[in-house]
Amino acid sequence: MALDANSVKHDQLKKWVNEVAEMCQPDAIYWCDGSKEEYDTLMKEMIASGAATPLAKRPNSVLFRSHPSDVARVENRTYISTTKQEDAGPTNNWMAPDELKAAMKKLYKGCMKGRTMYVIPFSMGPVGSPIAKIGIELTDSAYVVCNMHIMTRVGTSVIDVLGADGEYIPCLHTVGSPLEPGQADSTWPCAASIDDKYISHFPEENLIWSYGSGYGGNALLGKKCLALRIASAMAKREGWMAEHMLILRLISPEGKKYHIAAAFPSACGKTNLAMLESTVEGWKVECIGDDIAWMKLGPNGELRAINPEAGFFGVAPGTSYKSNPMAMDSIRENAIFTNCALTDDGNIWWEDGDTKAPAHLVDWKGNDWSPETKEAPAAHPNARFTAPASQCPVICPDWEDPNGVEIDILLFGGRRTTTIPLVTQAVSWEHGVFMGASAGSETTAAAIGLKAGVRRDPFAMIPFCGYNMGDYIQHWFDMGDKLGSKAPKMFYVNWFRKDANGKFIWPGFGDNSRVLKWMCERIEGKVDAVETAIGFLPKVEDLDLSGLKVTDEQMKELLTVDAEAWKAELPEINEFFNKFGDRYPAKLKKEIERLTANLSK
Could you tell me the smallest distance in angstroms from the CB atom of residue 463 to Mn ion?
A: 9
Please tell me whether residue 512 binds ligand GTP under the rule CB under 6 A.
yes
Residue 467 touches which of ligand SPV, ligand GTP, Mn ion, none (CB < 5 to 8 A by kind)? none
Angstrom distance (rounded) from CA 290 to CA 276: 11
Least Cβ distance, residue 574 to Mn ion (angstroms): 28
Q: Catalytic: 465?
A: no
> In the set 77, 224, 236, 249, which binds ligand SPV (CB under 6 A)?
224
Dihedrals phi, psi of 456, to nearest 5 degrees: -70, 135
Which residues have a Cβ under 8 Å from the Cβ of 304 and sit 6 or more positions away?
295, 296, 297, 298, 403, 404, 405, 406, 407
**Which residues is 530 bridged to in the sheet?**
537
535 within 8 A of 519, measured Cβ to Cβ: no
Residue 64 makes contact with ligand SPV by CB under 6 A? no
For residue 472, the minimal CB distance to ligand SPV (Å) is 17
- Interface map 103-122 toward ligand GTP (x if CB under 6 A): --------------------
**Residues 155, 189, 214, 216: which binds ligand SPV (CB under 6 A)?**
216
* Binding-residue pattern over the window 148 to 187 for Mn ion, x denoting contact by CB under 5 A: ----------------------------------------
| Listed ranges 168-176, 216-224, 231-239, 538-546: which one lies at the site for ligand SPV (CB under 6 A) | 216-224
- d(CA 412, CA 391) in angstroms, rounded, equals 27
d(CA 429, CA 477): 8
Under the criterion CB under 6 A, does residue 274 sit at the interface with ligand SPV? no
Alpha carbons 156 and 208: distance in angstroms, whole number = 22
Q: Is 225 in the site for ligand GTP (CB under 6 A)?
A: no
Measured between alpha carbons, how far is 429 from 438 in angstroms, rounded to an integer?
Answer: 14
Cβ closest to Mn ion, residue 461 vs residue 561: 461
Among 46, 80, 134, 267, binds ligand GTP (CB under 6 A): 267
Helix or strand run (H / E) with residue 151? helix 142-151
Please identify, using beta-carbon distances, which residue of 13 and 262 lies nearer to ligand SPV: 262
Cβ-based burial of 189 (10 A; exposed 0-12, middle 13-18, buried ≥19):
buried
Binding of residue 291 to ligand SPV (CB under 6 A): yes
Active-site residue (options: 268, 287, 340, 520)? 268
Strand pairing partners for 52?
Answer: 64
Tell me whether residue 85 is exposed, middle or buried, using C-beta atoms within 10 angstroms of its C-beta: 0 to 12, 13 to 18, 19 or more: middle
CB of 79 to ligand GTP, least distance (A): 21
Helix axes 36-49, 142-151, angle to 10 degrees: 140
Q: How far is CA 371 from the centre of its chain?
A: 32
Site string for Mn ion, 267-296 (x = CB under 5 A): ------------------------x-----
- Measured N-to-C along each axis, helices 586-599 and 429-438 cross at an angle, to the nearest 10 degrees, of 90
DSSP state of 395: B
Shortest distance, position 268 Cβ to ligand SPV, whole Å: 9
79 membership: H or E segment, kind and range: strand 78-80
d(CA 496, CA 294): 27
216 binds, among Mn ion, ligand GTP, ligand SPV, none (CB under 5 to 8 A by kind): ligand SPV
Given the complex with ligand GTP, which of 270 and 456 has the nearer CB atom? 270
Question: Which listed residue (115, 133, 197, 223) binds ligand SPV by CB under 6 A?
Answer: 223
Binds 450: which of ligand GTP, ligand SPV, Mn ion, none (CB < 5-8 Å by kind): none
Tell me which stretch binds ligand SPV (CB under 6 A): 217-225, 275-283, 426-434, 590-598: 217-225
Comparing C-alpha atoms, which of 228, 217, 201 is closest to residue 87?
201
DSSP bridge pairs for 501: none
Closer CB to ligand GTP, residue 89 or residue 289?
289
Q: What is the dihedral of CA 121, 125, 126, 132, to 10 degrees?
A: -80
Binding site for ligand SPV (CB under 6 A): 73, 216-217, 223-224, 266, 291, 313, 446
Binding site for Mn ion (CB under 5 A): 266, 291
Binding site for ligand GTP (CB under 6 A): 264, 266-272, 290-291, 314-315, 317-318, 323, 446, 495-496, 504, 508-509, 512
Query: What positions carry a catalytic annotation?
Result: 268
